[in-house]
Amino acid sequence: MNIEQLKARLLELSNQTKAIQDKAAAGNRELLPEEHETVVALADEFDRVEAQLQTAERLASIQDRASAGTGRRTDPAPAAPAASGQNANGLQNTALRTQSERDRWGFSNLGEFAKSVVDWGRGTRDPRIIQNASLSTYSSEGIGADGGVAVPPEFRANIQQLVTGEDSILGRCDAQPTNSNLVIVPTDEDTVWGSSGGVRVYRRAEAGTMSQSKIALKDITVRIEEMYALVPVTDGLLRDAPMLANFLGTKAGQKLNFKITDEIINGTGSQGQMLGILNAPCTVSVAKESSQAAATIVAANILKMYARMPDAVRRNAVWLINQDIEPQLLSINTTFKDAVGSAGIAAGVSGLIPEGGLRYDPTNGTLMGRPIIATEACQTIGTVGDIVLAYLPGYFAPYEAGGVRSDMSMHLWFDQGVSAFRWTFRIGGQPWLSAPIARKNGSNTLSHFVTLATR
């Protein structure tokens, strides 16, 4: 806790003790045994917090004396009266009244904070950084040639929301926080109709012995690796705080978001990348139709892709597409056949396709009743990955607890008048399934992820 928080805690402990004493006085009685124990515990904690406050104030005094340098050789001019909301140094008062102010350390936006850090490196000490930076972010990562200062928690949360929010592919996956760099999770890929291995169900005659079976588990291992964005910003941009806040608060988050989406779809699983859907061994591919023209998508492609996903999960599936295929989807149609199998019926209604099912609806973004997400991570039309039917909760994406880490330093490119802003996010991922799902009846396998072969 910083100095202001320690003072607030002392006041809180004092009020709690006084409330217990006032209650006993109002009843004209001595303290009850449990009340006495509580008062003693509060007094002990008061002593500990008071000692911490004294240490913190002494450290702050040392910092103030160190930053003062050799001092003035002449008497300073009288200080101008402080403006409303400012202290004698012309800085915003550091008495933070609300939780939101405390989360922002008293800064109104990320740009104001960034400029304050740069000014610190040039000799202007902002007390908001002194009072709110804990030892873990102030000493070991202190401002100077060896490091920077962590960004206040509310600004970190704003960037994190861009990565794991509702509009993110990651937000639809099975994304779980972890404190480990290596996650090993047992999985069960035994189907309810499985006839070899796993839990089995038998019949037996009266008094017959029971056959045994056991759970068939396998481990899935995911390594958590770091991805980062390192952004240089000129001093000229730093002087424009509102523009900087908008730039830092959105651009880095958008870049991280797309990088994650791209790896979820296209990741190779090597060199620190996540194992993407297109390279996963569990993904199934639907063949093109005979004589199908190049770079096209026909109704039979959509229907067959839909049929290759387990019914239990496809109600929660989504279509991932490259926007170039939208004209194909808008003109899609089905050719009906007569009783003997001849194609070319001029008109008809399929009883198997629900109303509005096959029709592509760009307004509501649905196809076969499932949502459509257009992303530049999907491949160009006519190649594998231009359209993917994906059950994204079937993709396991553990990430480091705490989310995106934000740091800044003015020393990396000091000679060029450029400050460095860095965001790091540790994440790994791969599908839960290790292989396609074998059918009980039928040769076509099923999967959480279905693609269309090259046309």
Q: Is the dihedral of CA 309, 167, 393, 285 positive or negative?
A: positive
What gap in Å lies between CA 319 and CA 367, rounded to an integer? Answer: 8
pLDDT band at 264 (very low <50, low <70, confident <90, very high): very high
CA distance 60 to 131: 8
pLDDT in tens, 338-385: 666 666 654 444 444 445 556 655 566 788 888 899 999 999 999 999
Nearest to 263 by CA among 432, 429, 76: 429
**pLDDT above 50 for 146:** no
Summarised one tens digit per residue, pLDDT across range 161-176 is 667 655 679 989 999 9
Q: Quote the pLDDT of residue 96.
A: 60
**pLDDT in the model for residue 431:** 97
What is the sign of the dihedral through the CA atoms of 110, 111, 113 and 114?
positive
**pLDDT higher than threshold 60 for residue 269:** yes
**Mean pLDDT calculated for residue range 398-424:** 80
Is this structure's pTM higher than 0.75? Answer: no
Contact 450, 317 (CB under 8 A): no
Contacts of 324 (CB under 8 A, 6+ apart): 380, 381, 386
47-66 tens-digit pLDDT: 888 888 888 777 777 766 66
Q: Which range, 146-155, 235-244, 401-410, is most confident?
A: 401-410
Q: Which residues are CB-neighbours of 213 under 8 A, at least 6 positions away?
A: 198, 199, 200
What pLDDT score does 329 carry? 84
Mean pLDDT of 106-113: 71
Residue 26 DSSP label: H
Q: Determine contact, residues 142/169, Cβ cutoff 8 Å.
A: no
Whole-number percent of the chain with pLDDT over 70: 69
Confidence of residue 412 (pLDDT cuts 50, 70, 90): low
* Contact between residue 411 and residue 121 where contact means Cβ atoms under 8 Å apart: yes
